[in-house]
Amino acid sequence: MSTLDKDLAGLATEASHPRSAELDRMSVAEIAAAMNEADATVPGAVNRALPQIVPAIEAASERMQRGGRLVYVGAGTPGRIAVVDASECPPTFSTPPELVFAIMAGGPSAIVTPTEGAEDDAEAGIAAVDEARIGPLDTVVGIASSGRTPFVIAAIERARELGALTVGLSCNVGTRLSAVAEFAIEVAVGPEVLTGSTRLKAGTAQKLVLNMFSTIVMVRQGKTYGSLMVDLKPTNHKLRDRAVRMVAEIAEVPRERAEQSLVETGYDVKVSVLMLARGLSQAAATTRLAAAGGRLRPALEGA
């Protein structure tokens, strides 16, 4: 048995869960109850990791404020979760696709067609970071349930060499990924109901943490007004209706006036709010918003 195999065998995420020792003998109701019981422990594990999560997000926010990007690196399930989180940023916050994106071991085709061997290719991890032109302003978050995935570790090591802020997110304690990253986040979820299937509790934990990363970083960039997504792209009926409701609420005007203004501005929520709340022309509202760095609150409340 190789050293890597021994390390893997000793991981908590590879251990058997006592609740599911007779999984194949259990009824559907019993399995569902066991899985639900296990899933309920994940938020607590994330909560215990908040002292590690918070400073990493603060540092990532500061880098993005100076023009940096948020880049996820993963293989298998963690990579797919990263792709999902990154892909939600453009419609939610009107960000360009290159601002928050994911590097997936095995390339884009691995998102739908598993190429699990790609996770062992350390050289490919280095090459992917170089191809993405990672630099000192960027934040690179490596995600690996085990914390020992060669592709991810090599990518994080290379990103750190290039001066990027590096974060290692794993679901075990004292991992190799934690050792090579500047910020270590270890969400210890323990054994899975289906032994070694880290798409379960570990995957849920990773999604919760990445939700925090992308959402909080964007909030800190002024992409919201309170809890409202004022930078969303209203590309369908639901989102257009949400835009109308936001403008009406913030500017304190009837829905009809909000919708009319949005049509005039091409559904720019922030410009519409400024026009209605401050009695500005579209050009003046656009200028005022730009002077506030695109942040609605200072544009709206400032002198």
Q: Domain of 201: which CATH number?
A: 3.40.50.10490
- 15 and 127 assigned to the same domain: yes
Ranges under pLDDT 70 in the chain:
1-10, 12-16, 20, 116, 303
Pair 153, 169: CB distance under 8 Å: no
Same domain, 263 and 132: no
Residue range of the domain that includes 266: 237-301
pLDDT for residue 14:
67
Domain count, the chain: 2
Taking a C-beta distance cutoff of 8 angstroms, is the pair 130, 146 a contact? Answer: no
Global pTM reads 0.90
CA distance 210 to 220: 15
Nearest-angstrom CA–CA distance, 230 and 56: 25
DSSP 8-state class, residue 109: G
170 and 290 inside one domain: no
Residue 2: what pLDDT? 46
Question: What contacts 136, CB < 8 A, 6 or more positions away?
Answer: 68, 162, 163, 164
Residue 8's identity, in one-letter code, is L
Residues 273 and 210 in one domain: no
Query: In whole angstroms, how far apart are CA 136 and each of 42, 103, 166, 167, 220?
Result: 33, 18, 10, 14, 20
State the burial class of residue 22 (Cβ atoms within 10 Å of its Cβ: 0-12, 13-18, 19+): exposed
Residue 70 lies in a domain: yes
Residues 130 and 261 in one domain: no
Question: What is the separation, in whole angstroms, between the first and last Cα of the chain?
Answer: 69
Indicate if 142 and 66 belong to the same structural domain: yes
With 0-12 / 13-18 / 19 or more C-beta atoms within 10 angstroms meaning exposed / middle / buried, residue 68 is: buried
DSSP-based three-state secondary structure for 223: coil
Indicate if 208 and 89 belong to the same structural domain: yes
Q: Specify the pLDDT at position 1.
A: 40
Boundary-marking domain end, from 220, 249, 264: 220
Residue of 119, 186, 192, 259 marked catalytic: 119
Q: Is 249 a catalytic residue?
A: no
Catalytic residue among 14, 58, 62, 88: 88
pLDDT at 16: 61
Residue 229 in any domain: the answer is no
Shared domain check, 214 and 105: yes
Cα–Cα distance, 126 to 157 (Å, whole number): 8
- Do 206 and 283 belong together in one domain? no
Question: Do 216 and 241 have their domain in common?
Answer: no
Tell me, yes or no, if 88 is annotated catalytic.
yes
Please identify, among 220, 254, 271, the residue that sits at the C-terminal boundary of a domain: 220
Digit-coded pLDDT (tens) for 99-157: 999 999 999 888 888 776 889 999 999 999 999 999 999 999 999 999 999 999 999 99
What the block records as the tokens of 45 is 């594990």
For residue 225, being part of any structural domain is answered with no
Shared domain check, 169 and 37: yes
Cα(129)–Cα(113) distance, rounded to whole angstroms? 22
- The two tokens of residue 164 are 């990027």
Q: For residue 177, what pLDDT is reported?
A: 97
